[in-house]
């Protein structure tokens, strides 16, 4: 059986521990970003294009009947070129390489930018087949960012390519 002094000691120690935890759970205040700043997050995972070629009639005749696919497509995917400009200034440039042992997987990029709250001109360009010059996906928009807002730049071919949300 515990003595009354031991019970009082335990209550005091548990109370002090709970106070310690409670204080550091709420103070000091932590801000991930300053109060007047917004975040722009670039998060893209995309399969690069493949450079397929059409087989000639002579090539098809040389193949066994069960292998006569009219298109020959290599397993490898193309690298993806990506450029991001904020207010006309280059913010990010990269060439994403496909993952996988045979370079047949997705190309992935994640980048985070801090921008002052307010209106900004945002331009994102992507080319998923480096054999073809230029950019086949372009998204330009004027965006108004509020303090602590998070704007995500993503890619979905079903939604027309690049989009902001």
Residue 19's pLDDT is: 94
Q: What pLDDT does residue 153 have?
A: 97
Per-residue pLDDT tens digits for 107-163 = 999 999 999 999 999 999 999 998 889 999 999 999 999 999 999 999 998 888 999
Higher pLDDT, 26 or 120: 120
Phi, psi of 117 (to 5 degrees): -60, 145
pLDDT for res 1:
65
Judge contact between 92 and 84, C-beta under 8 A. Answer: yes
- In the chain, domain spans: 1-30, 37-50+77-164
* 52-64 exposure pattern, b = at least 16 Cβ within 10 A, e = fewer: eeebeeeeeeeee
Q: Among 120, 97, 117, which Cα is nearest to 107's?
A: 97
Q: Assign 35 a pLDDT band (cuts: 50, 70, 90).
A: confident
Distance CA 146, CA 135 (A): 30
Checking if the pLDDT of 26 tops 90, the result is no
pTM: 0.77
Mean model confidence pLDDT for the chain:
93
Helix segments in 27-140, DSSP class H: 57-62
Which helix (H) or strand (E) covers residue 126, if one does?
strand 118-127
| Section 21-27 average pLDDT | 89
Confidence (pLDDT) at 111 = 96
pLDDT at 34 over 90: no
Predicted local confidence at residue 83, as pLDDT: 97
Is domain 37-50+77-164 annotated with CATH 1.20.58?
A: no
| Interval 3-26 mean pLDDT | 92
Structure confidence at residue 58 (pLDDT): 93
DSSP label of 4: H
Q: Per-residue pLDDT for 54 more than 90?
A: yes
Instruction: Convert the pLDDT of each residue in 57-96 to its tens digit.
Output: 999 999 999 999 999 988 999 999 999 999 999 999 999 9
From residue 41, how far is each of 32, 89, 127, 146, 165 by CA, in Å?
14, 17, 19, 15, 10
Containing 46, the helix (H) or strand (E) segment is strand 37-46
């Amino acid at each position: 059986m515990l003595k009354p002094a031991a019970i009082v000691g335990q209550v005091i120690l548990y109370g002090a521990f709970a106070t310690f935890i409670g204080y550091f759970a709420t103070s000091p205040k932590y801000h991930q970003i300053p109060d007047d700043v917004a975040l722009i997050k670039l998060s893209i995972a995309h399969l690069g294009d493949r450079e397929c070629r059409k087989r000639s009639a002579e090539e098809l005749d040389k193949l066994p009947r069960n292998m006569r696919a009219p298109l020959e497509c290599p397993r490898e995917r193309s690298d993806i070129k990506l450029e991001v400009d904020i207010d006309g200034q280059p913010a990010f440039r990269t060439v994403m390489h496909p993952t996988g042992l045979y370079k047949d997987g997705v190309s992935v990029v994640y980048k985070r930018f801090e921008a002052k709250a307010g209106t900004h001109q945002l331009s994102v360009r992507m080319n998923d087949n480096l054999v073809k010059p230029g950019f086949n996906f372009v998204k330009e928009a004027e965006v108004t960012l509020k303090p602590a807002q998070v704007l995500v730049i993503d890619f979905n071919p079903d939604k027309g390519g690049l989009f902001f949300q």
